[in-house]
Amino acid sequence: MRNVFVLNVGSSSIKYQLLDVEDGTVHGEGVVERIGLKGSGVADHARALEVVLEELPDVPIDAVGHRIVHGGTRFVQATVIDDAVEREIEALADLAPLHNPPGLAGIRAARAVLTDVPHVAVFDTAFHATISPAARDYAIDAEVAARTRIRRFGFHGTSIGYVSRIAAQLLGRERDPELRLVVLHLGNGASAAAVLGGRSLDTSMGMTPLEGLVMGTRSGDIDPAIPLYLAREHGYTFAELDELLNKKSGLLGLAGRSDMRELVNAANAGNERATHALDVYVHRLRHYIGAYAAELGGIDAVVFTAGVGENSSYVRRRAIAGLEFLGLSIDSERNNASSREPRYTSPDGSPAAVLVIPTNEELEIARETREAASR
């Protein structure tokens, strides 16, 4: 089994890639957008998939990997899809109402057309199934938590799993159960993870992707009484609170813009809101690096990945500055160099490494799809 067709389905889009899992060759990739919207010409996900298959090169498809955001407590690894698995994914829709239903629509469309190959669901939450009970559970009424499935799940699992594996290779410690990594997936959505020996020990996102780091438009950690106060004293509805915390907060809320390059340029030009937003952003990053150093009992490497993590030398420099007591430091020339390859940004001989590893979620989904289909 070599060629895996990877599907990442949104409510009005399908992002796809057909790749050779052996050598990473991409045979075809693209995106279909505005599915089901007026004037798009693509009525639904079934028609969109037909369009995609018409555009793919004549390469045999050996398996289909579906990115599914939420696996709940049921799915802790990539899973071959049958009708029962479909029903269970559907039952998890309340935990990820914006993501699981379109993912399921993609599964149904693809299974109806590609009937002779295995289909595998790869879950963002699965990598974090190993987090400790102390990190997993919130301090609320245990019966309420159990009945309503409130707990930390974590996200970005395929990305964090991929870069953790590449980091171990880069460090020459592929099978070391004691390898201690802090992985920072920094994009518009952002999360941190403590990874011990390739297994997630803790992660910053919680029951939803709202918890944790400051993000492009999401608040990250706040006092949980703030939404109650806004509702009680200022009349905010549930919908308005959702909009505020998920779409109008984070860097956008602090500075009126969420693009990191624009923020850094504005801060360098003396914009006080941009400077303050970056201060808050970096403060939260350093908070989690320190917390995870305590949980791991030290750090062997900090790994930066995703759009901001891979491309912002400013964020990397400020996040690591002053952490020499943890063995961490930055080499300015290495940090400022541009490359799409996994690389060190720390000086030679540093007690702990600082790495930049471009993520490849499609390749990780393809790899997990092959493993699941071969079990």
Q: Which residues are catalytic?
A: 124
Amino acid identity, residue 359? T
Q: From CA 304, how far away is CA 355, in angstroms rounded?
A: 6
Question: Which residues have C-beta within 8 Å of that of residue 222, sequence separation ≥ 6?
Answer: 245
* Chain position carrying tokens 């999360």: 191
Q: What do you get for the CA distance between the two ends of the chain, in Å?
A: 12
3-state secondary structure the chain: CCEEEEEEECCCEEEEEEEECCCCCEEEEEEEECCCCCCCCCCCHHHHHHHHHHHCCCCCCCEEEEEECCCCCCCCCCEECCHHHHHHHHHCHHHCCCCHHHHHHHHHHHHHHCCCCCEEEEECCHHHHHCCHHHHCCCCCHHHHHHHCCCCCCCCHHHHHHHHHHHHHHHCCCCCCCCEEEEEEECCCEEEEEEECCEEEEECCCCCCCCCCCCCCCCCCCCCHHHHHHHHHHCCCHHHHHHHHHHCCHHHHHHCCCCHHHHHHHHHCCCHHHHHHHHHHHHHHHHHHHHHHHHHCCCCEEEEEHHHHHHCHHHHHHHHCCCHHHCCCCCHHHHHCCCCCCEECCCCCCCCEEEECCCCHHHHHHHHHHHHHHC
Two structure tokens written together for 7: 């599907």
